[in-house]
């Protein structure tokens, strides 16, 4: 069988091609990519939001770390200062103990000198010396009691105690000197 090309046959084929082309051109295929495009935009938006959240969270975490480090440094500085104060307190307590012992020795020495001066006054036989001796001896005995009650440790009353002892010594010595002149 032989094909014959007739002018009407080409026309049918051409018409068929045009109908097919027209039907394809009128058909909208954008729906095929619209959903995928929307899903892509949503995914990009979510990635952007999550990246922003991560950056914000990371910044907050770094700030918090810096604050913690500052607090740790301040704590370490405070601990070092406390240790220094402990050492200074220990040193001051040692100095105080030494000063207390020195004061105690000075009081004993001063008391021995007072007793020696009173013994010299006791050798006098005149009435004014005997009267002075009786009063000075009583004051000396009160001072001896006060000295025996010397606090074992220096406390808040230590200054008042030493001032009282020194003032009493001064008064007895002054009156003793007046009696021996």
Check: CB of residue 171 under 8 Å from CB of residue 112: no
DSSP annotation of 123: T
Flag residues of the chain having pLDDT under 70.
1-28, 153-154
What tens digit of pLDDT does each residue of 152-168 get? 766 777 888 889 999 99
Is this model's pTM higher than 0.75 or not?
no
If one counts every other C-beta atom within 10 angstroms of the C-beta of residue 176, the result is 20
H helical segments located in the chain: 7-26, 31-122, 127-148, 158-180
Q: Supply 154's token pair.
A: 């220096």
pLDDT of residue 154: 61
Provide the pLDDT for residue 110: 94
């Amino acid at each position: 069988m032989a094909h014959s090309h007739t002018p009407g046959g080409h026309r049918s084929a051409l018409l068929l091609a045009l109908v097919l082309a027209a039907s394809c051109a009128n058909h909208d295929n954008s729906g095929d990519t619209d959903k995928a495009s929307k899903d892509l935009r949503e995914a990009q938006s979510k990635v952007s939001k999550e990246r922003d959240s991560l950056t914000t969270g990371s910044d907050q975490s770094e700030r918090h770390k810096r604050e913690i480090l500052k607090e740790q440094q301040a704590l370490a500085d405070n601990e070092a200062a406390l240790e220094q104060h402990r050492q200074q307190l220990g040193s001051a307590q040692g100095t105080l103990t030494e000063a207390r012992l020195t004061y105690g020795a000075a009081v004993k020495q001063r008391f021995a000198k007072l007793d020696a001066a009173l013994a010299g006054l006791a050798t006098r036989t005149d009435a004014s010396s005997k009267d002075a001796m009786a009063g000075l001896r009583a004051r000396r005995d009160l001072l001896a009691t006060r000295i025996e009650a010397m606090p074992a440790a220096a406390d808040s009353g230590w200054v008042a105690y030493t001032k009282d002892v020194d003032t009493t010594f001064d008064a007895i010595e002054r009156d003793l000197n007046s009696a021996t002149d």
